[in-house]
Amino acid sequence: MDIPKELRESGLKATFPRLRVLQLFQDGKNKHLSADDVYRLLREEDIDLGLATVYRVLMQFATAGILIRRQFDSVASVFELNEGGHHDHLVCTNCGKMEEFLDSSIEERQEEVARTRGFTLMEHSLSLYGTCAACIDIVAARQKKIRRG
Ligand SMILES: [Zn+2]
Ligand SMILES: [Zn+2]
């Protein structure tokens, strides 16, 4: 993605903080970032952008179609680069980790479910909630404790 060009075309000035925010989405190991995450990452680089400003910038990008805003249950809304293709998400309800997946048989079944009910599908978002591999022991230990009371 040519960031300065994308910004120009969406009528947003390519200010340094804006460029840096988009670079975080491009370079980061985490594709899905909340306003809090972005705020924290900028602070680590001594870029002093207030949380409200970070949120406003992210929403500007979302409106311009450069970022997609996602709302999952029980986690703050996150943003990711709009790379054009479709994908669904797995969300860890313990740590918030997100993974993307695309399963052609699920995609086809969804189309079919809609079609047999007379719906023409325009879009869908599928989010699967659970516990990620790194959290499974922590969550199991916590549940054991709750059961013991
Ligand atoms: Zn987790
Ligand atoms: Zn995603």
Distance CA 51, CA 76 (A): 14
Closest-lying ligand to the alpha carbon of 94?
1
Query: Which residues belong to CATH 1.10.10.10 in the chain?
Result: 1-83
DSSP 45: T
Closest-lying ligand to the alpha carbon of 69?
2
CB of 98 closer than 8 Å to CB of 90: yes
* Unique residue bearing structure tokens 């943003």: 79
- Give the number of other Cβ atoms within 10 Å of residue 45's Cβ: 9
pTM of the predicted protein model? 0.83
pLDDT of residue 108: 96
pLDDT of residue 17: 86
Interval 95-125: pLDDT, tens: 989 999 999 999 999 999 999 999 999 989 9
> Which tokens in the block code for residue 5?
């060009």
> Which tokens in the block code for residue 113?
């479910």
**Residue 81 Cα to ligand 2 middle (Å):** 8
The CATH homologous superfamily to which domain 86-149 belongs is: Ferric-uptake regulator, C-terminal dimerisarion domain (3.30.1490.190)
**Residue 82 Cα to ligand 2 middle (Å):** 9
**Residue 99 Cα to ligand 2 middle (Å):** 7
**Residue 87 Cα to ligand 2 middle (Å):** 6
Query: Which residues belong to CATH 3.30.1490.190 in the chain?
Result: 86-149
Fold entry, domain 1-83: Arc Repressor Mutant, subunit A (1.10.10)
For ligand 1, a single-atom ion, the residues with CB < 5 A are: 92, 94-95, 97, 132, 135
Interval 4-59: pLDDT, tens: 777 787 788 888 888 899 999 998 778 999 999 999 999 999 988 999 999 999 99
Q: How confident is the model at residue 3 (pLDDT cuts 50, 70, 90)?
A: confident
